[in-house]
A and B are shown apart, each in its own frame.
Chain A
Amino acid sequence: MRLINRTPGPALRVFLTLLPFALALVVYMIASEARLAANPQDRLLPSPATIGDTAVRLFTTGDRRTGRILLWHDTGASLLRLALGVGIAALAGLLSGLAIGLLPHVRAAFSPFVAVLSMIPPLAVLPILFITFGLGELSKVVLIVVGITPFLIRDMGQRVIDIPREMIVKAQTLGASSLVIALRVALPQIMPRLIQSVRLSLGPAWLFLIAAEAIASDLGLGYRIFLVRRYLAMDVILTYVIWITFLAFVMDWGLRSLSRRLYPWAGGGL
């Protein structure tokens, strides 16, 4: 039997899924143990028990001065920025993608421009963003938008172009106007694709969010990580990293479930 046709049984599948996680944990524990044996106060690789204690403290205990539980405030601030940024980018990507995909004039005018725009590394033009949008919430949301919108526009535009020409022609013979074709033919077909593109953009969106928060902020997950880095509080950083990973995973899973529920016909590719 060829290797490509051999599939693991249910038990082996679970084992194989867990194996890399277990290996990563073991590597971490060995390394942490070795460092702590040399210096019990080592902060670089705290033991899993220390991380657990820190996590409990961060999730339940208020700040010494203000009494606020900072982790929840950080999470709230960051998620709001992320939701605004990704939401605006998704809407802009969808509308521009439809226009670029369906209207040849718009395509001629903007398609190459967006292609060039998407190559600019947003972090390199940060000072311009700051001076234009200030240092407040706006510039953080704008960085996320600037970071992921060009990709979404290009992807959406391409998906619209990929719609079989026959369908568009058929709709026209049935008397559909450009607007009706956009809303009834193109839009339903690219919605599942939009959700998938947003899922792929979440990684870069987090990256831009944390970069924006590291530069000028007084609240947020990225802010806290860069702040406590100043005294190498890796227990706090690792708790935040695990929390961010969890949030990102939940978002990804939520979007996938949403897509499967709303667009079951889009198939298993999602």
Chain B
Amino acid sequence: MTKTKTLLLTSAALALSLGSAASAQEKTEFKVAWSIYVGWMPWGYLETSGIMDKWADKYGIDVEIVQINDYVESINQYTAGAFDGVSATNMDTLSIPAGSGVDTTALIVGDYSDGNDAIILKGEGGLEDLAGKPVNLVELSVSHYLLARGLDSVGLSEADLGGVINTSDADMIAAWATDDVQAVVTWNPLVSAILEQPGANRLFDSADIPGEIIDLMVVNTETLAANPDFGRALVGAWYELMEIMSSDTEEGIAARTAMAEASGTDLAGYDAQLASTEMFYAPTDAVTFASRPELPQTMVNVAEFLFDKGILGEGAPSADFVGVEYPDGSITGSAANVTFRFDTTYMQMAADGAL
């Protein structure tokens, strides 16, 4: 009898621990997740350099920044409630947390990809030559979106290709070395590594669609609303580091060198990746970018791409299923289901020096 009881109690405890999502009440301990990408390397440095702790102490809270090796897994963990914030692109934020009904706010607009994502062909040719060829990429990722935009620009569609083959980013460079692979779509630092090989030909990259692949720090809207100090601490720490990082002082070079090492390259390699990334070092630039009238159009394009690929889920009747709110209060998509918000309040505070 006791055994059955213990078993039942254990199961109930297990069920509860699985079932608990991040709650929206006031709290003092926060966790954000990030993964390796040129525009997100500062998150790792914020944690190791102690800048994050300094800002968290200022607001009397505790913020832990955790690196997750698998990008999609980090977003899934955030969506499941294990983290209060995560580094993600606009597209993946729309498809995973926002599409799953987790109300999410883009707290920091960090950068947009300005050449970091690219379509690469083996040998000579142009985008038209992709017709009939298989293309290796991480399906349903920003690479897939870039490919769709690239094909669109020459009047082709995915149906004209010899197929898309889902290939793990971890094995992309090994895949490039095999004879089967004729074209890939991927992101940095893989793009630079592949372009170093003979015969690699860059056909199209994110600099051709500037401002459409945006790298963000997104946080749970309810958590942010209940704990504005969490937002202040994150934004304050971020822009302090942005100022250090963008300078060519000894401190700035030391910071970039540390980030370069953490991403497996050297200072020159990291600076080259930064050159194809439009970083918003100053909070005013980020605010201006997020308030641009082009942003809603980009998000509509992204939503249509996601819907077309079935990524918004079977419950999504149309591409307008998820509502996105912009800094001026305007909304694209369903106004009744706004789960993705671009909010410049905190970045504006940083711009005004009010943190």
Interface residues, chain A, with chain B CB atoms under 8 Å away: 23, 26-28, 30-35, 38-45, 54, 57, 64-65, 126-127, 130-131, 134-136, 214-218, 223, 226-227, 229-233
Contacts and interface: CB of A to CB of B under 8 A. Distances in A.
B116 interface: no
B72 interface: yes
A39 B15 CA distance: 16
A23 B11 CA distance: 7
B12 A231 contact: no
Most chain A beta-carbon contacts within 10 A, residue among B7, B166, B313? B166
A40 B103 CA distance: 12
A216 B12 contact: no
Q: Is the interface of A mostly helix, strand, loop or mixed?
A: helix
Nearest to B12: A30
A32 B179 CA distance: 46
B139 interface: yes
A221 to B, nearest CB: 13
Given A41-B101, A44-B79, A135 B14 contact: no
Contact of A230 (B18, B139, B178, B179): B139
B174 A130 contact: yes
Nearest to A130: B174
A131 B11 contact: no
Nearest to B100: A43
B140 A45 contact: no
A22 to B, nearest CB: 10
Given A216-B166, A218-B164, A54 B314 contact: yes
Contact of B140 (A35, A39, A126, A227): A227
B222 to A, nearest CB: 10
A216 B177 contact: no
Nearest to A136: B180
A40 B178 CA distance: 46
A21 B164 CA distance: 40
A118 B164 CA distance: 35
Contact of B100 (A23, A38, A130, A232): A232
Nearest to B15: A30
B242 interface: no
Contacts of A131: 174, 177-178
Contacts of B101: 39-42
Nearest to B174: A127
5 residue pairs, one from A and one from B, having the closest CB atoms: A41-B101, A34-B19, A30-B15, A127-B174, A31-B18
Given A27-B14, A39-B101, A230 B171 contact: no
B269 interface: no
A94 to B, nearest CB: 32
Contact of A216 (B79, B159, B168): B168
A62 to B, nearest CB: 13
Contact of B76 (A23, A26, A39, A232): A232
A131 B175 CA distance: 7
A136 B100 CA distance: 34
Nearest to A128: B174
B181 interface: yes
Given A31-B19, A218-B164, A126 B11 contact: no
A135 B180 contact: yes
Contacts of B225: none
A127 B171 CA distance: 7
Interface string B248-269: 0000000000000000000000
B226 interface: no
A49 B332 CA distance: 32
A30 B167 CA distance: 36
20 contacts: A26-B15, A27-B14, A30-B15, A31-B19, A33-B19, A38-B21, A39-B102, A41-B100, A41-B315, A126-B171, A130-B171, A134-B178, A135-B178, A215-B167, A215-B170, A226-B166, A227-B140, A230-B72, A230-B139, A230-B141
B77 to A, nearest CB: 10
Given A27-B14, A39-B101, A65-B159, 4 more contacts: A136-B180, A216-B166, A227-B140, A232-B96
Given A127-B174, A230-B72, A231-B96, A45 B165 contact: no
Nearest to B164: A218
A218 B174 contact: no
A66 to B, nearest CB: 10
B140 A230 contact: yes
B90 interface: no
A216 B186 CA distance: 14
A69 to B, nearest CB: 15
Contacts of A130: 171, 174-175, 177-178
Interface string B158-193: 010001111110110011011111000000000000
B79 A43 contact: yes
B328 to A, nearest CB: 26
